[in-house]
Structure 1
Amino acid sequence: MDIKSTLAAQGYAATRPATQPKAGESGGAGEAFARLAGDFAETLNRGEQVASASMIGNADPHALVQALAQTELAVETAVTVRNKVVEAYQEILRMPV
């Protein structure tokens, strides 16, 4: 019985370094998500700036259409990701305990 607990402790010690974050890695998923959110906000701001500039005649129509298309794509992507997250959350709630 004492041998089993020793083997279990050795097995745990051997796998523990694999589960710890590496010192050289930065941020991970949280930092990547923050960067994506920043890019999304920047795309929306750029679209608003081009739209405002086109209203007063400082931007050509081609730039306006391109900015609106990029903004539309960013919003559709954000909505799709949100829907997938909500779907995954609901699937987790449906799991039996």
Structure 2
Amino acid sequence: MLETGMVFKIAGIIICSVLMVILGRADRKRKLPAGVKLIFQVLISLIIIYSGVKIEFLRAPSSSSEGYLYLSYLSIPLTIIWLISITNSIGQADELGDITP
């Protein structure tokens, strides 16, 4: 069985993934302004963070196990930036796929 905290995280990821897909489809149909899209992406990212999913530390691939950089107060902004960047990168790649024959 999964513990309650893990179920809450998984539910947050699934719900927010569906919301991002809905936002992407709405943007494709109606060409939402960038500011509106950004606001919705930030709100969806905050829902994921509220569910307990966030980047708490970074580690260099070549460093030892003690080479962790704990983000503390930078954890939430970095998580938001990462989620929005990945989402927009996938959207851009999808648009490029529509252009090529």
Length-normalised TM-score, structure 1:
0.38
Which structure dedicates a bigger proportion of its chain to strand? 2
Q: Which has the higher contact order (CA 8 A, sep 6+)?
A: 2
Length-normalised TM-score, structure 2:
0.37
Which structure dedicates a bigger proportion of its chain to helix? 1
